[in-house]
Amino acid sequence: MSLKFTEILKTLPDVAELDRIELYDLNDNFIDKIENLPGTQGSLKVYFFLFKTYKFIDNEAAQNGLKLFSEHTVDAMKKPGSHPNIDRLIHLINNNEVLKIKVFPR
């Protein structure tokens, strides 16, 4: 039996002291940011965990991220565009791309 996303979140590092993370491609082009705001804190926790664990989001990190998003990954695959932070991980895997993560404390 797999854990629900809310249960997984409890096991991930705290993000209370983070303002945001920013994502860049390997040429240092800005891709996107995830801010510490209601509605994005779950994604922030997943991406921060990936940063702490892998330093980059490569294929292995993206696959782990999809597992962490749990039931939301299944929903994102059924409804592309409904979960952009999950869609990004799927895109990285499908295109064998890598993202850098920069962390910004409050």
17-56, pLDDT tens digit by residue?
999 999 999 999 999 999 999 999 999 999 999 999 999 9
Percent of the chain with pLDDT over 90: 97
d(CA 56, CA 17): 21
Report how many domains make up the chain. Answer: 1
- The identity of residue 49, as a single letter, is F
Q: Model-level pTM greater than 0.85?
A: yes
27 burial via Cβ count (<10 Å: 0-12, 13-18, 19+): exposed
Residue 2: pLDDT band (50, 70, 90) is confident
In which band, very low, low, confident or very high, does the pLDDT at 75 lie, cut at 50, 70 and 90? very high
- CATH number of the domain residue 42 falls in: 3.30.70.2010
Q: Is 99 helix (H, G, I), strand (E, B) or coil?
A: strand
